[in-house]
Amino acid sequence: MTQTITALYDDQAQAQAALSKLVAAGFPQGSIRLTPGASTTATRSTGSYDHTRDEGGFWASLKDAFMPEEDRYAYTEGLSRGGTLLTATVEDNRVAAAMDILEENGSVDLDEREATWRKEGWSGYGAASATGASATGTVTSGTASTGTATGAAAARGTGETDYIPVVEERLNVGKRVAEHGRVRVRSYAIETPVEEQVSLREEHVEIERRAVDRPVTAADEALFAEKTIEATERREEAVVSKDARVVEEVGIRKDATQRTETVSDTVRRTEVEVEDERGNVSRTGVSGTDPRKPV
């Protein structure tokens, strides 16, 4: 929802400065309007502004300002006296910020100004509106709610329709990765006893003695000299060595498959029922509004 804020300035430069600050604060310039007043008070008639004659056209210039006629009458009087009117349409949650900007730039306190005008002979809108409130109710969908906005700027609602939102939940299905098992391959060493048979050769030295009885020959004369005979015993021993061979490989490989899973849940949705005085009933549905008689 939006509200319309109106503020009256004696000086057009003040109004222009307020407009610039509103724009700098993020308010759309297209939602702000300046209505300059009379360039000189000599052009207006004496006494109160005659809106039936619409001197200067100020009464007509405020016809779309969405304000009660008593306020329109007061702002028209201010325009006829040379003031400048600033009108801004703002969101509800930014009304206070906009009004602060308008007041900081010297907007007129309309209550005090009306009191001054009355002392000068201004009759106001009429006896019923002699207090000249600076802001009155907001009309929405044909129902008027009253309230008061204090200060120099006044805020009035511009919405013309009340809405009941139709809310529905939507199911959002996403995906996440979750662990469902783990495979681990680990290698370690073990010792296994093994046996092998090998044939080994051994040599032995034996002393033989035999009896001999024969005459000494010339060749045997050398036997009286020293003589040594040696023989070496040998045997084979088992020699063990080891070599490593890769006899098998164990690895891990992952295969991915795709599957479709149906996810079931419930979602909520609000429905709006409209019933008029004739008993006609209409309800919102998935396919829109389906008017029907109540059973």
Give 14-51 pLDDT, tens digit per residue.
989 989 999 999 999 888 888 888 775 544 444 566 55
Task: Count how many residues are written for the chain.
Answer: 295
pLDDT at residue 114 is higher than 80: yes
Which of residues 27 and 220 earns the better pLDDT score? 27
Q: Which positions ≥6 away from 156 have C-beta within 8 Å?
A: 3, 4, 5, 6, 66, 67, 135, 136, 138
- Mean pLDDT of the region 91-97: 88
Distances (CA, A) of 198 to 127, 195, 293: 137, 10, 110
Each as own residue / partner, the long-range contacts of residues 129-133 (CB below 8 Å, 24 or more positions apart, any chain) are: 129/70, 129/73, 132/70, 132/71, 132/74, 133/70, 133/71
pLDDT score for 199: 92
> How many CB atoms are closer than 10 A to CB 7?
29
User: What predicted TM-score, i.e. pTM, was given to this entire model?
Assistant: 0.41
- Mean pLDDT of the region 249-274: 87
How much is the mean pLDDT over the chain? 75
Which of residues 100 and 56 earns the better pLDDT score? 100
pLDDT at residue 109 is higher than 50: yes
Q: Are residues 65 and 8 in contact, defined by beta-carbon separation less than 8 angstroms?
A: no
pLDDT at residue 156 is higher than 80: no
pLDDT at residue 82 is higher than 70: yes
Q: Are residues 110 and 19 in contact, defined by beta-carbon separation less than 8 angstroms?
A: no
pLDDT at residue 64 is higher than 70: no
Q: Which domains does the chain have, with CATH numbers?
A: 2-157 (3.30.70.120)
Cα 292 from chain centroid? Answer: 41
pLDDT at residue 145 is higher than 60: no
> How many CB atoms are closer than 10 A to CB 79?
24
Distances (CA, A) of 185 to 179, 188, 244, 254, 268: 18, 10, 21, 13, 50
Q: How many Å apart are CA 164 and CA 143, to the nearest integer?
A: 15
pLDDT at residue 146 is higher than 60: no
pLDDT at residue 13 is higher than 80: yes
153 pLDDT band, cuts 50/70/90, is: low
Q: Are residues 6 and 79 in contact, defined by beta-carbon separation less than 8 angstroms?
A: no
User: Which percentage of the chain shows pLDDT scores above 70?
Assistant: 74
Q: Which positions ≥6 away from 193 have C-beta within 8 Å?
A: none
* Three-class DSSP category at 235: strand
pLDDT score for 126: 59
Tokens of 136: 């009155």
